[in-house]
Amino acid sequence: MDRTFDDLLDEADATPVDGWDFAWLDGRATEQRPSWGYQRLMSERLAGAEAALDIQTGGGEVLAGAARFPPAMAATESWPPNIARATRLLRPRGVVVVADPDEPPLPFGDESFDLVVSRHPATVWWTEIARVLTPGGTYLAQHVGPASVFELTEHFLGPQPEARRSRRPEIESADAEASGLDVVDLRSERLRMEFFDVGAIVYFLRKVIWIVPGFTSGAHRERLRELHERIQRDGSFVAHSARHLIEARKPG
């Protein structure tokens, strides 16, 4: 028997959302992955670095996928449950996890790292990235692009014309150049997502809090019911994520 709307909401609301592991969504949602393979690229670069920093590491799951770390490896994170999770995961491998509010300055000295990486940073402080990189050092990251998953955002919040213009890769590239970095690679893709039940949407919005700021299933119950009925009718709810890969180097 199909689970009821209330059952799906109750289950999703009761599920912990700390860390950056989306395994709970297996079989309930899918997301196409970018063709460039960020995890592989990051791992290759880390293996050849002397000192590296992962900015906004989340629960450390992405960084932990690297086979080798450089002799000096640090990560920053702002959310306390993720700090604890990342520390448990990464400290046994010699990674120092630093609590940081995701605002300037980064808690490191000038020219501390020859590699800085980040996957889906909420904010990007280019002047700080440039400051902590050594001459010839590299920033390699996968960023969230413009209007990512806006099918959900605008379902709950209505049209967002101003927000649709933010996070554009060409603007971020210009900001990186303005900070003194040379952008050597920039690639963008839009990727299909599908949600197969409304509980998957609730879990996703509780975890990825910037999609619908202030989201709760109680406050957005009627709009969730509309999604539930649409999924019952169509089989899924389709959205599209936006991603771009950016690589920038500090002149040597």
- In this structure, what CATH number is given to the domain that contains residue 163? 3.40.50.150
Neighbours of 87 (CB within 10 A): 19
pLDDT of res. 252: 92
Domain carrying residue 243: 5-249
What pLDDT does 1 receive? 45
Share of the chain above pLDDT 70, in %: 99
Residue-level pLDDT at 251: 98
Contact 69, 98 (CB under 8 A): no
pLDDT > 70? residue 116? yes
CB atoms within 10 A of CB 14: 7
Helix 5-14, helix 221-234: angle, nearest 10: 120
Region 149-157 average pLDDT = 98
DSSP summary character for residue 45: H
Q: Count CA within 13 A, CB hemisphere, residue 198.
A: 25
Phi, psi dihedral angles at 32 (to 5 degrees): -65, 140
Whether the predicted pLDDT of 233 surpasses 70: yes
Residues 6 or more apart whose Cβ sits within 8 Å of residue 83? 77, 97, 99
Q: How many domains does the chain have?
A: 1
Q: Tens digit of pLDDT for each residue in 44-93?
A: 999 999 999 999 999 999 999 999 999 999 999 998 999 999 999 999 99
Which tens digit of pLDDT belongs to each residue from 2-26? 789 999 999 999 999 988 889 999 9
Mean pLDDT in residue range 150-154: 98
